[in-house]
Amino acid sequence: TVDVEDDRTGISVETLRRALADHLFYIQGKWPEVASKNDFYLALAYMVRDRMMQRWLNSTRNYLRSEVRLVTYLSAEFLLGPHLGRNLLNLGIEEPVRQALQESGLDLNDLMAQEEEPGLGNGGLGRLAACYMESLSSLQIPAIGYGIRYEFGIFDQEIRDGWQVEITDKWLQHGNPWEIAHPQEAVTVGFGGHTEGYTDSDGRFRKRWIPAKQVKGIPYDTPIPGYRVNTVNTLRLWKAEAVESFDFQSFNVGNYYGAVNSKVTSENISKVLYPNDEQIEGKQLRLEQQFFFVSCALQDMIRIHLTSGRQLDSFHEKFAAQLNDTHPAVGVAELMRLLIDEHGIEWETAWEVTQNTFAYTNHTLLPEALERWSLSLFGGLLPRHLEIVFEINHRFMDQVRVQYLNDSAKLSSLSLIDESGERYVRMANLASLGSHAINGVAELHSELVKQTILKNFHEMFPGKIRNITNGVTPRRWLALANPRLAALYTEKVGDGWLQDMEKLRSLEGYADDPGFRQHWRQIKRDIKQDLATYIQTRTGITVSPDSLFDVQVKRIHEYKRQHLNVLHIITLYDRLRQNPNLDVAPRTFIFGGKAAPGYRMAKLMIKFITAVGDVVNNDAAIGDRLKVVFLPDYNVTLGQRVYPAADLSEQISTAGKEASGTGNMKFSMNGALTIGTLDGANVEIRELVGDENFFLFGLVTEEVMALKASGYNPWDYYHSNPQLKGVIDLVNCGYFAKGDSELFKPLIDNLLHHDPYLLLADYQSYIDAQDRASTAYQDQEDWSRRSIINAVRMGKFSSDRSIREYCEQIWHVKPVQIELKE
Ligand code: 26M
């Protein structure tokens, strides 16, 4: 017999070569001679997708079995990054594919660069959802991610004259080979209208919702394969479309253009991702988005549950639904409505099912980020849900009254309704009450959740709030981002470390091995050279791979204090001007990150970075000792270039403000040392790498709170610290603005008069820590030792560990092995 590989599934080089040609011809409709790079990329993507199909469909079919319990991750954001590389890695077919392409005269890396990354998220929260989807699959946990298929994801950033300019992200324009639409599984979502009471056929008094408008949700599915397992989970994103029969009623009365217009309005719902750090209060479209995707998800889950042959009173046994922040929190009211109004379940049963289904993750303590909707907006859009929220609250307030003897302070702080002025629905309270578990995202953060925003919930329901420290997937953030380091690890410990990152700990002994350290340094230098080349082409700035790469990449925000980093740069610059022969370790300061389009101070911070860069980079007196680079359009793809090239990771938020951070983990696992405050997961990173391998500075959370309570005065620091005064004065006189003393005035005035994030209070401590880092870098042998320690001790921060904790402590789900055959 002759074994012939199937062209759709075979992975021999010859089969792959043929499959590629086939897709190019039959899917792209092109001969190789006229095919564009994008045609080849698409052909390749379809070829890879074919090789996931059996596993994907087997997984999906398996989840319909009644005994399988599923996690659903409800998130308004999934910041996925490119699919192709991850799929090749997780399927284990990169090498034959690379070779098949080569034999066809194509380069894999070149084609991978064609992929437009789906930027369906802002930053940490969305990227966490993506890491968690990947880990769920790799751990063989049955799961579905539910979210919105935004037509426009996070904007692309350009820098013009040092300022951020936003460009629309047209990620779908060349086609998306990774998604499959399932219009036959569309659901309908209502908005507006009113409610009415009626008596059903059993004589029971019931309520129903008569929406004013309906929108169709079409699911688009994307496969998320696990690493070297048969599990392929689904990311199901919903697109909003007009309900023809409904909207086109106006057509019958001759209002054709009116009908088309209302079609356009319906489709606006999934049009664009909102930037997260912008005032969202009063933005009706945002609440429409939230309700839209959550209602689609819950209806889909109910359909799955019923097809698996079960009753709705056991819905919570089939599903564990995680609320990624409060964005999907309206789901608490929607599940109640679906169970009670649509499926005739009693309130008490519905409430038990609901609470047992949901769990809620909090991602920020910043007061301005806590979601609330005015009753008029909420009730206008979701009248039935407002009634349900009132009823939940009514019953809850009775319970609070009994437990706390009518304590009015307790009542008003626990209430789902903020009644201090105009009345609002508090989404964090709704999520907390409607869930059986609440978690923070790092140890410090979870403690602060208990002590501050959810203090009274914690008191009333002890044990309900826990911690699950964030993690990131080592497949993307090591294997894909840093193939050189990954190869070294595999050479030393075998490839098991990608499934169990704790295995890297066995490399600790090498920290004292000069040969290994030499190899380690060589790898880091090669990567830095690659980034230097990229910097040269993207920005025209020449940087040396031998300088210390000092990197801060993350969203631009005052609490993250990129401007504190700039104050340090100016300090060094000032020192060098005063003393041109000063012996300092040459440094390259690298920044990247987007500012919310409406956040003026953040945009000014970008201008501040680039303006200081313009002066420092071109001052002959400084030579090449200091370089400042702002990398435009920071995204997942760029992150994969940057983290591996860093020597020093800047994690310098005001203590108590950064819930966890996840970039801090990515840097450290790629061998960077951290300069940071005791904030978020920095605390846990420092505990693992040891005090001596971490540059700590700054006030701790309690000190921050105490200083603010006692009346913080930034002028005290300005007047008592000549170096700080010199730096501020230099900015103030327009030195970095071609003499324009107005440009940075809002920034400097804010620091001198308010300084809500305590830059001035932390300045000297930061400078001292930076000086320690500079000195440390001059001893390359010792720096390498610390770098190795950092990298090999980061096992805890694999998202596999985080997901295992969610599974055991919150979701109570177990892995399910999927068969490849059939
Ligand atoms: C909103 C309005 C005005 C100003 C700020 C906001 C705002 C701030 C933060 C809105 C949302 C915010 O958080 C969302 C988010 O991405 N949080 C991040 O979640 C990550 C994953 O858990 C954590 O690692 C980050 O520390 C946390 O900032």
Between CA 112 and CA 119, with CA 114 as vertex, the angle to 5 degrees is: 95
Distance CA 702, CA 695 (A): 20
The pLDDT of 246-254, averaged and rounded, is: 62
Between CA 243 and CA 245, with CA 244 as vertex, the angle to 5 degrees is: 100
Could you tell me if 379 and 528 lie in one domain? no
Given the residues 286, 666, 786, 793, the one annotated as active site: 666
Q: Is 628 inside a domain boundary?
A: yes
CB of 285 closer than 6 A to ligand 1? Answer: no
The model's confidence at residue 245, banded by pLDDT at 50, 70 and 90, is low
The residue behind tokens 């040392």 is: 673
Write the pLDDT tens digit of every residue in 735-781. Answer: 999 999 999 999 999 999 999 999 999 999 999 999 999 999 999 99
**What pLDDT score was predicted for residue 21?**
96
CB of 277 closer than 6 A to ligand 1? Answer: yes
Q: How far is ligand 1, taken at its centre, from the CA of residue 709, in Å?
A: 24
Write the pLDDT tens digit of every residue in 29-40. Answer: 999 999 999 999
Radius of gyration of the chain from its Cα atoms, rounded to whole angstroms:
28
On whether the CB atoms of residues 628 and 609 are closer than 8 A, the answer is: yes
* 555 has catalytic annotation: yes
Q: Is 820 inside a domain boundary?
A: no
| Token pair recorded at residue 508 | 């600790």
Ligand 1 closest atom vs CA 127: 21
| Token pair recorded at residue 415 | 């209430």
CB of 125 closer than 6 A to ligand 1? Answer: yes
* 554 has catalytic annotation: yes
* 161 CB-contact burial (10 Å; exposed 0-12 / middle 13-18 / buried 19+): exposed
Distance CA 798, CA 477 (A): 10
Distance of CA 439 to the CA centre of its chain: 16
Could you tell me if 38 and 124 lie in one domain? no
Instruction: Lowest mean pLDDT of 98-112, 221-235, 253-267, 616-630, name the range.
Output: 253-267
Distance CA 240, CA 698 (A): 47
Distance CA 648, CA 552 (A): 9
Q: Is 759 inside a domain boundary?
A: yes
Ligand 1 closest atom vs CA 126: 16
Ligand 1 closest atom vs CA 276: 10
**What pLDDT score was predicted for residue 278?**
75
Specify the DSSP element, H or E, that contains 421: none
- Residue 248's identity, in one-letter code, is F
Q: Is 559 inside a domain boundary?
A: yes
Distance CA 329, CA 11 (A): 44
Could you tell me if 254 and 111 lie in one domain? no
Ligand 1 closest atom vs CA 661: 24
Distance CA 231, CA 499 (A): 14
Q: How far is ligand 1, taken at its centre, from the CA of residue 363, in Å?
A: 6
Could you tell me if 731 and 592 lie in one domain? yes
User: Which residue has the least CA distance to atom 13 on ligand 1?
Assistant: 364
Distance CA 150, CA 165 (A): 21
Distance of CA 818 to the CA centre of its chain: 28
**What pLDDT score was predicted for residue 247?**
55
Ligand 1 closest atom vs CA 659: 26
The pLDDT of 274-279, averaged and rounded, is: 81
**What pLDDT score was predicted for residue 545?**
98
The model's confidence at residue 11, banded by pLDDT at 50, 70 and 90, is very high
Could you tell me if 415 and 524 lie in one domain? no
- Biggest CA–CA distance in the chain, Å, is 92
Could you tell me if 292 and 424 lie in one domain? yes
Q: What is the DSSP letter of 272?
A: B
The pLDDT of 672-696, averaged and rounded, is: 98
Distance of CA 49 to the CA centre of its chain: 25
The model's confidence at residue 276, banded by pLDDT at 50, 70 and 90, is confident
CB of 123 closer than 6 A to ligand 1? Answer: yes
CB of 326 closer than 6 A to ligand 1? Answer: no
Query: Which residues, at least 6 apart from 798, have a Cβ–Cβ distance to it below 8 Å?
Result: 135, 471, 472, 473, 474, 501
Distance CA 207, CA 342 (A): 10
Q: Is 475 inside a domain boundary?
A: no
- Per the structure, the count of domains in the chain is 3
CB of 369 closer than 6 A to ligand 1? Answer: yes
The pLDDT of 183-211, averaged and rounded, is: 97
Q: Is pLDDT at 258 greater than 80 in this prediction?
A: no
Distance CA 291, CA 604 (A): 34
CB of 658 closer than 6 A to ligand 1? Answer: yes
The pLDDT of 304-323, averaged and rounded, is: 95
Quote the mean pLDDT of the chain. Answer: 96
* 709 CB-contact burial (10 Å; exposed 0-12 / middle 13-18 / buried 19+): exposed
Write the pLDDT tens digit of every residue in 687-699. Answer: 999 999 999 999 9
Provide the residue range defining the domain that includes 325: 68-82+117-470+805-811
Best of 364, 600, 660 for a ligand 1 pocket test (most atoms within 8 Å of beta carbon) = 364
Q: Is 819 inside a domain boundary?
A: no
- Residue 183's identity, in one-letter code, is P
Ligand 1 closest atom vs CA 680: 26
Q: How far is CA 355 from CA 109, 333, 336, 359, 415, in A?
A: 47, 11, 10, 8, 17
Ligand 1 closest atom vs CA 441: 22
The model's confidence at residue 499, banded by pLDDT at 50, 70 and 90, is very high
- Residue 375's identity, in one-letter code, is L
User: Which residue has the least CA distance to atom 25 on ligand 1?
Assistant: 661
Best of 79, 277, 559, 805 for a ligand 1 pocket test (most atoms within 8 Å of beta carbon) = 277
On whether the CB atoms of residues 468 and 802 are closer than 8 A, the answer is: yes
Q: Is pLDDT at 327 greater than 60 in this prediction?
A: yes
On whether the CB atoms of residues 220 and 238 are closer than 8 A, the answer is: yes
Could you tell me if 408 and 547 lie in one domain? no
User: Which residue has the least CA distance to atom 15 on ligand 1?
Assistant: 125
Write the pLDDT tens digit of every residue in 643-656. Answer: 999 999 999 999 99
Write the pLDDT tens digit of every residue in 418-474. Answer: 999 999 999 999 999 999 999 999 999 999 999 999 999 999 999 999 999 999 999
Q: How far is CA 761 from CA 262, 655, 717, 766, in A?
A: 54, 12, 6, 10
The pLDDT of 104-108, averaged and rounded, is: 97
Could you tell me if 752 and 660 lie in one domain? yes
What residue spans of 494-561 are helical by DSSP H?
Answer: 514-539
pTM above 0.90, yes or no: yes
Q: Is pLDDT at 280 greater than 80 in this prediction?
A: no
On whether the CB atoms of residues 631 and 642 are closer than 8 A, the answer is: yes
**What pLDDT score was predicted for residue 93?**
98
Q: How far is CA 274 from CA 148, 191, 349, 596, 636, in A?
A: 11, 20, 36, 9, 18
User: Which residue has the least CA distance to atom 19 on ligand 1?
Assistant: 125
Q: Is 560 inside a domain boundary?
A: yes
Could you tell me if 106 and 170 lie in one domain? no
Handedness of CA 18, 20, 23, 24 (dihedral sign): negative
**What pLDDT score was predicted for residue 2?**
59
Q: Is pLDDT at 249 greater than 70 in this prediction?
A: no
**Nearest CA among 466, 482, 463, 462 for reference residue 474:** 482
β-pair partners for 350 = none
Could you tell me if 523 and 608 lie in one domain? yes
The pLDDT of 533-537, averaged and rounded, is: 98
**What pLDDT score was predicted for residue 262?**
76
* 455 has catalytic annotation: no
**What pLDDT score was predicted for residue 777?**
97
Could you tell me if 541 and 625 lie in one domain? yes
Q: Is 503 inside a domain boundary?
A: no
Query: Which residues, at least 6 apart from 133, have a Cβ–Cβ distance to it below 8 Å?
Result: 73, 78, 143, 145, 224, 233, 235
CB of 77 closer than 6 A to ligand 1? Answer: no
| Token pair recorded at residue 680 | 């978020």
Q: How far is ligand 1, taken at its centre, from the CA of residue 124, in Å?
A: 7
Write the pLDDT tens digit of every residue in 160-181. Answer: 999 999 999 989 999 999 999 9
Given the residues 239, 286, 503, 555, the one annotated as active site: 555
CB of 680 closer than 6 A to ligand 1? Answer: yes
**What pLDDT score was predicted for residue 257?**
78
The pLDDT of 661-668, averaged and rounded, is: 98
* 666 has catalytic annotation: yes
The pLDDT of 307-316, averaged and rounded, is: 93
What b/e readout covers 549-563, taking b as 16+ CB neighbours within 10 angstroms? bbbbbbbbbbebbbb
CB of 596 closer than 6 A to ligand 1? Answer: no
What is the CATH classification number for the domain harbouring 256? 3.40.50.2000
Q: Is pLDDT at 525 greater than 70 in this prediction?
A: yes
Could you tell me if 609 and 633 lie in one domain? yes
Distance CA 220, CA 218 (A): 7
On whether the CB atoms of residues 51 and 227 are closer than 8 A, the answer is: no
